[in-house]
Amino acid sequence: MPIQAARHVLLCAALFAGGLAATAAQAEGLRPGAVFVQAGGGETDLGAASAGLLWPWAWRAHALGGEFGLQTELFASHWRARGLSGSRQGYTQIGVLPLLRYRLDEGRSPWFIEGGIGLSLTDRLFSTPARSMGSRWNFSDNLALGRQFGEQGRHEWSLRWQHTSNAGLKKPNPGLDLVLLRYSARF
């Protein structure tokens, strides 16, 4: 492995580990506050299913007529897409994602909007006839619109958009877009 590539891998690994440590320290303890599952699809005949854990942060701020809050997500995804040989290929993605959530009506509304940018790693390079990624390390940009329901708002449905790319750090970098439906349950 060339020295520059090894440095890039070590830098990404250090950033990922540092992000995990920092978000865990900021969260309200090591025990997660929620679990989620999600599924959806995207361009290039891509299908995805994910599961993960959420850690809410204690920080809250009231502004713009609503309430802002933070949470950290740790996820694992399985992607399926048509490979270069024409057969379906599987890819595993893991990641960590800090999210900023905005709830309407000073935080009393069951509706929320959230977004965040995190880091992810796939088990191998994503490569299909339509597009190929230049790196296994990528950023995961996420936006969602959702609604809490049930006793004390412990259940949520959200419609999410996820964009995965390496921000031009390595070529090619076409990026991947997914639309996902998520169900979350808080403990």
Token pair 């994910």 is found at 50
Are 52 and 36 contacting, i.e. CB atoms less than 8 angstroms apart?
yes
109 as an active site residue: the answer is no
Catalytic residue among 8, 78, 127, 177: 177
Please name the residues in contact with 43: beta carbons below 8 A apart, sequence gap of 6 or more. Answer: 130, 176, 177
Element holding 119 (H helix, E strand): strand 111-122
Catalytic residue among 8, 78, 155, 163: 163
165 as an active site residue: the answer is yes
End-to-end alpha-carbon separation of the chain, Å? Answer: 45
Backbone angles phi and psi of 87, in degrees to 5:
-85, 160
Catalytic residue among 120, 135, 165, 184: 165
The DSSP result for 46-90, as a single string, is: EEEEEEEEEEEEEEEEEETTEEEEEEEEEEEEEEEEE-TTSSEEE
Report the catalytic residues.
163, 165, 177
